[in-house]
Amino acid sequence: MTAKTAVITGITGQDGAYLAAFLLKKGYRVVGIVRRSSHFGVATHRLDWLGITRQVELIDGDLLDLGGLCRTLREVKPDEIYNLAAQSFVKTSWQQPTLTGQVTGLGAVNILEATRLEVPDAHFYQASSSEMYGLIREPVQSETTPFYPRSPYAAAKLFAHWMTVNYRESYGMFACSGILFNHESPLRGLEFVTRKVTDAVAQIALGRADELRMGNMEAQRDWGHARDYVEAMWLMLQHGEADYYVVATGRTNSVRYMIDTAFAHAGLDPDKYIRVDPALLRPAEVDILLGNPEKARKTLGWQATTSLEDMIREMVDADLARYRALPR
């Protein structure tokens, strides 16, 4: 049996790296499209962390270059395409709304169009986001909950999400979307709140820092582990019918609870180190997100297996190991 080939945009990000590792274990040929930058050598650090850099093929490309995407898909002829690339930091989307719209929104249309033109039979996955729910219309969000995006990032993701539906319905493409709720790991970027917290806890525990500056600690999120969530992406493309699914744990916790969990794991009292900084508050906050993953459980047989507590402890331990390996 010939091994399947998968193309992943955003392969050097958290989800892309975990997905690549998952697919390699399944025997896939994994090709990653990587935006060229002056930090290219640094960009593979997540693949390096997982020990898979030499097992994947990296090709220069950009979601804003339709011609380049077409050429890549024509040459690679993938069976599956996972579009994980985006300007994915909510705070930055207010500072760069046009760029966010171009990359996160129109970029998704470019890879959809390249798929339609070059490999129309390939199975396509679009990374949608729980941020699309924004000012929530229902206390628990499912596939039928109305969307109300509260940031340029969320609005761009919503455009990409509905364009994926449009391509499926208009052209008969096997195009799926995963509405992923917050998912974290030791590979999360430092600009995201969970990794910001675990990194600060590690530095404080080792005497490298003496405070953690935070914004809104009352916001509540449904947090899962990225390692679990990439399996849901794959399962969507193996199912007999293309659709979109909420991927979540079905449990929500406050930022404050997450912080307390991280500090407790290091044996520290968070109240001694946390400083509230109004400059870190969002222009428009999403107060609570809580996903209903029942459709994914029933249809795909998927459910989250890692608790928030275990994930945060894993992240703190990873950050402690990173700093202990550095020279003082």
CATH 3.40.50.720 fits 5-183+223-247, yes or no: yes
Q: Write out pLDDT tens, residues 110-137.
A: 999 999 999 999 999 999 999 999 999 9
Give the residue among 218, 143, 140 at the shortest CA–CA distance from 177.
143
Give the per-residue pLDDT at 104.
96
Kindly report the backbone phi and psi dihedral angles of residue 178, in degrees, each rounded to the nearest multiple of 5, phi listed first: -110, 115
Beta-strand (E) ranges in the chain? 5-9, 29-34, 57-60, 80-83, 123-129, 174-180, 183-184, 212-214, 220-221, 224-225, 244-247, 253-254, 274-276
Task: Name the percent of the chain lying above pLDDT 70.
Answer: 95
Q: How confident is the model at residue 287 (pLDDT cuts 50, 70, 90)?
A: confident
Is the confidence at residue 297, as pLDDT, over 90? yes
For residue 2, pLDDT over 60 is answered with yes
Q: pLDDT tier at 278 (50, 70, 90 boundaries)?
A: confident
| pLDDT exceeds cutoff 80 at 319 | yes
What long-range pairs does 119-122 form, CB within 8 A, spacing at least 24?
A: 119/73, 119/74, 119/77, 119/78, 119/81, 120/171, 120/173, 121/174, 122/73, 122/78, 122/79, 122/80, 122/81, 122/174
Q: Is 286 a residue whose pLDDT tops 80?
A: no
So what's the pLDDT on residue 38? 42
pTM of the complete model beyond 0.85: yes
Ordered by start, the domain boundaries in the chain are 5-183+223-247, 187-221+252-285+306-324
Q: With 70 as the cut, is the pLDDT of residue 284 above it?
A: no
The mean predicted confidence, pLDDT, of the chain is 94
183-184 and 253-254 strand pairing = unpaired
Q: What is the DSSP letter of 251?
A: -
Place of tokens 């985006």: 86
According to DSSP, residue 290 is labeled -
d(CA 158, CA 127): 10
Helical ranges in 178-282 per DSSP H: 193-205, 226-238, 255-265
Report the 10 Å Cβ neighbour count for 14: 24
List, for residues 232-257, the tens digit of each pLDDT value. 999 999 999 999 999 999 999 999 99
- pLDDT surpassing 70 at residue 1: no
Cα(110)–Cα(114) distance, rounded to whole angstroms?
6
Residues 202 and 322 sit within 8 Å (Cβ to Cβ): yes
Label the pairing between strands 174-180 and 123-129: parallel
Question: What superfamily would CATH give domain 187-221+252-285+306-324?
Answer: UDP-galactose 4-epimerase, domain 1 (3.90.25.10)
